[in-house]
């Protein structure tokens, strides 16, 4: 029995060192390399429009003759016909989910302590109470999305195992981090699961649906007719 324990302990130490050391760097390297590959693919699938087509003068609306109230109701009608008007609850929950998903890891005290130890400075940190609330919001929103895919027939019809897997991977770092902070089960095991889930997430971001978190900004500011912001000059080429 003692010999078996002595064999298990070194194995655990090797696994711990692997997850907290080489796998961290490997995940960051794959993440950065994947972003570069996807950026190259994006450049190959789009082209620059140096001279954008001009709208005929007769088709240009005379905005100066439109009152402020008419513009307001025009925009209101536009939102009503969009997904915002069709399902405002889903849009609100989705916005809250994505906001907390991005903000919480950036301003978490434990993460900023590690950042300060590594590069000498850290970002502003939320209090433990605020971090717990934001983590709870992320998990609650994720649970809502899971229930929505199970209950709504039209959503369930287009849902695959990959969709549940992607959602589970997005929630895993928050769940394991919260359980580790609460000393649920074994702390060392939970913190390693937390680190491992983050590493898997980093590796998958460039090569899965997670890439929309980066492409969202690329599309809005660089591609024409993608609900564009600013003055984009690229368009899809087919």
CATH number at residue 212: 1.20.950
Q: Is residue 238 part of a domain?
A: no
Structural domain range at position 162: 2-38+67-230
Predicted confidence at residue 58, as pLDDT, reads: 44
Give yes or no for a contact between 14 and 199, defined as CB atoms under 8 angstroms apart.
no
Confirm whether 52 is domain-assigned. Answer: no
Residues in the chain: 238
pLDDT of residue 81: 53
Question: Could you tell me if residue 118 is inside a domain?
Answer: yes
49 in a structural domain: no
Using CA atoms, how far residue 107 sits from 134, 170, 200, in Å, is: 11, 18, 21
Bridge partners of 234? 48, 223
Overall domain count for the chain: 1
Instruction: Give the helix, strand, coil percentages of the chain, each rounded to 5.
Output: 75, 5, 20
Model pTM score: 0.76
CA distances, 195 to each of 37, 59, 104, 148, 229 (Å): 25, 56, 16, 29, 36
Is residue 196 situated within a structural domain? yes
**Residue 55: inside a domain:** no
Asked whether residue 54 is assigned to any structural domain, the reply reads no
Which pLDDT does position 182 carry in this prediction? 86
pLDDT, averaged per 10 consecutive residues of the chain (238 residues), comes to 46 74 89 89 76 48 56 58 67 91 89 79 84 95 94 91 92 93 84 92 89 77 68 71
Is 45 part of a structural domain of the chain?
no
- Are 197 and 169 a contacting pair, CB within 8 Å? yes
């Amino acid at each position: 029995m003692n010999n078996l324990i002595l064999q298990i302990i070194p194995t655990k130490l090797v696994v711990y060192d692997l997850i907290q050391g080489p796998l961290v760097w490997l995940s960051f390297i794959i993440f950065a390399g994947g972003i570069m590959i996807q950026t190259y693919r994006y450049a190959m699938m789009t082209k620059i429009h140096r001279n954008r087509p001009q709208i005929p003068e007769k088709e240009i609306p005379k905005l100066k003759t439109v009152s402020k109230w008419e513009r307001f109701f025009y925009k209101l009608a536009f939102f009503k016909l969009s997904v915002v008007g069709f399902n405002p609850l889903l849009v609100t929950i989705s916005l809250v989910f994505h906001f907390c998903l991005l903000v919480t890891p950036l301003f978490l005290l434990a993460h900023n302590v590690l950042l300060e130890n590594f590069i000498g400075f850290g970002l502003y940190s939320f209090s433990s109470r605020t971090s717990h609330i934001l983590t709870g919001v992320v998990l609650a929103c994720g649970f809502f999305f899971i229930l929505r895919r199970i209950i709504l027939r039209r959503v369930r019809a287009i849902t695959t195992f990959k969709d549940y897997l992607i959602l589970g991977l997005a929630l895993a770092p928050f769940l394991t981090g919260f359980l580790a902070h609460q000393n649920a089960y074994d702390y060392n095991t939970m913190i390693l699961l937390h680190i491992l889930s983050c590493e898997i997430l980093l590796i998958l971001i460039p090569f899965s649906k997670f890439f929309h978190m980066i492409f969202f900004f690329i599309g809005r500011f660089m591609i024409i007719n993608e609900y564009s912001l600013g003055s984009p000059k690229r368009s899809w080429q087919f």
